Each structure stands twice: as structure tokens, then as C-alpha cells.
Amino acid sequence: MRRRAAPTLPEPGLADLAPDQRLRRLELTVTRRLDGLLHGQYRGLLPGPGSEVAGSREYRPGEDEVRRMDWAVTARTTVPHVREVDADRELTTWLLVDASPSMEYGTATLDKRELAVAAVAAVGFLTAGAGNRLGAQVLTPDGLRRFPARSGRTHLLGLLRTLLGAPRTGGYEETAAPAPPNLVDGLAGVQRVATRRGLVVVVSDFLDGLPDDPDAAPPWEAALRRLAVRHQVLAVEVTDPRELELPDVGLITLIDPETGRRREVWTGDRALRERYAQAAAAQRDQVRQVLRRAGATHLALRTDRDWAADIVRHVHHQRRLAAAPAAARGGGA
């Protein structure tokens, strides 16, 4: 009896190989460049207090939180003291990733969504460790997609693969469809699941509902501030250079990716380009001020810059800030 030959499987095409190749490149970038440069300190992307008690010290008005008061030591010494705590060895990180249509824009090597995935990879690989868990909520035009907090490399790679392979919106047509979930919905979702103190990372362009009045608060500021009360919050702002200035390329059509509205603009007008650049700079300054008011740490990434180098600079800067109070206490002893 002749044995039937096994069917020949087709060779994988570029569409099949690209996601895994990109994942490998992301992992190599993080482990070789970031982890290598940042090796030796557990504090990671955003050093700060945890929950393991490490002693007490005198209370400093304007610097310390009243909720950290060590009332037993205060009563014993009659001098206000606060608890000092070490970083938790088991960290739960929650990601809120903006995958709305505005994040599909890009004119450099990466578009904004790909840069957002790179930021997620950096957070995931740098916070990975024994007992550490990573959860995510992704804002898509179809709804809020949830990933429970789990540990392990397989979980992280599955999240990255989902983000890389998520379908794009394609054309930009004006539509009256129901509004997709926004940053307020996403932040509220994180608030519900992040019951234990940890790290919350929000990756977005933060343009959602940004008011024209720079003194007015965007709808998501209050929700971000509530998260920052309990958690360490890192806001990763993703931008593209063409959002900051217009090139002189003649007549172009500008399209709002969220609504599909179009407007033709003559970029040969120098005064128009200058007004655009000024308005864009004011908008980004508005985002920075809002994030500062909300109590979030701000990390700005651009599609035309070396994102790995920007993250390294951010982490070193945060570590210097975290080490400054300890150095001051040591010098004053």
C-alpha cells in the first residue's frame, strides 16, 4: 500500500515573517542597548517609593506626603516623621496604549503607532522579572481591548504581536458612527483594575479632547490625576515632526484621522507655516503643563529620533532626581 505524501506547506511570505522579525529587533534593541546601559539598578524606568518599610526620617513640609506619616515614631519623639520605603520587588505595571487613528500618522522611519509599540516593548522588557506582572488596555476604534496582568516573556510577546498586527483604519472618510472610546474611558478602565500600587504607563499623543484654551483642562486630566495619587504614572507622549511644522510643498490636503474632515492648505505661505509652528509648539507645551499638573512623569518620544537613546536619557535623569534627596540627607548628616 502506497503511503500518501505529506502535503507541502507554502513558504511563509513577508507578511508572515515581518511581525516576528520586528519583535526580535525590538527585543534586541531593548536588551542590548537599554538593558545594557541601565544594568545594575532595579529601579527601572521610573524610580520611586514602593511599599516595603525601610525606616523613618523627619517630615519635610512641602516635600513629603502626609499619608506617609509614621505616627508611632512621631508620638515617641514628638517630632513629625514619615516612613521611608523601598521599591517593591514584585511590580505590577499597567499599560494604556492609544491605538486610535491619529496614532497611525508618521512621516519618518516609524509612524506613531510603531513608536508606541517600541515604548511598550521597552517598558515590558525592562520591568520583566521574577514575580513582576504586566497588564494592558488598548484604545482602538472598535473599543477598549483588555489584557490581564500576567508575568512571563510569552505574555509580553503576545501583547506586542497583537499591537503590531492590529488592522489599520485605512481611508479617512467622514462618518457619523458612534464615538470610539477615548482617554477618559481608558484611564477609568485602568483605575478599575489597578487595585495594587504599581506603575501605570500611558502611551498616547494626548491630543484627545485637548481644548483650544491653554488654561482649560482636557477631559482626561482629572482621571490621570486620580491614578497618580496611588500609582507612579509615566506619560509617554508620541509625536511626529510634521505635526510640529509644515514643509513648503505647495497645495496639500490635511485630513483629520479621527473625523475624516479635510481642508486644503497652501503651504507656500510663509506666514501660515509660522502660525502653524507656533500653534503646534503651544499645543505641546499645553500637554506638558497638563501632565505636570496631574502628577505624571513625562517622557517625550519622536518618530524622527532615536527612541532608545531618549529612553536612556529619561531613566538616567529620573535616577539622578531620585538620588538627590538621599545625597542631600547624607551631606547634612
DSSP secondary structure code for residue 133 in this structure: E
Residues across the chain: 333
Asked if residue 128 lies in contact with residue 153, where contact means CB atoms within 8 angstroms, the answer is yes
- What's the pLDDT at 119? 92
Write out the H or E segment, with its range, that includes residue 56.
strand 52-58
φ, ψ (nearest 5 deg) of residue 48: 170, -175
- Strand intervals (E) in 141-180: 143-150
- What's the pLDDT at 221? 96
DSSP secondary structure code for residue 62 in this structure: T
DSSP secondary structure code for residue 144 in this structure: E
Q: Which of 163, 17, 26, 21 is nearest to 96 (CA)?
A: 163
pTM over 0.85: no
Return all residues near 99 (Cβ < 8 A) that are at least 6 apart: 113, 116, 138, 139, 140, 163, 166
Question: All 3 cell numbers of residue 120?
Answer: 511598550
Which pLDDT tens digits describe the chain residue by residue (333 residues)?
A: 444 444 444 443 333 434 567 777 777 777 667 666 555 444 456 555 444 455 677 887 766 767 778 888 888 888 888 876 545 457 889 999 998 888 888 888 888 999 999 999 988 888 877 678 999 999 988 888 999 999 888 888 888 888 887 777 655 555 555 567 789 999 999 999 998 888 999 999 998 888 888 888 999 999 999 999 989 999 999 999 988 988 888 888 887 776 778 888 898 889 999 999 999 999 999 999 999 999 999 999 999 999 988 988 888 887 777 666 555 555 544
Domain architecture of the chain: domains with CATH: 44-87 (no CATH), 92-319 (3.40.50.410)
Output the CA–CA distances (angstroms, integers) from residue 179 to 58, 165, 185, 222, in the order listed: 51, 23, 12, 20
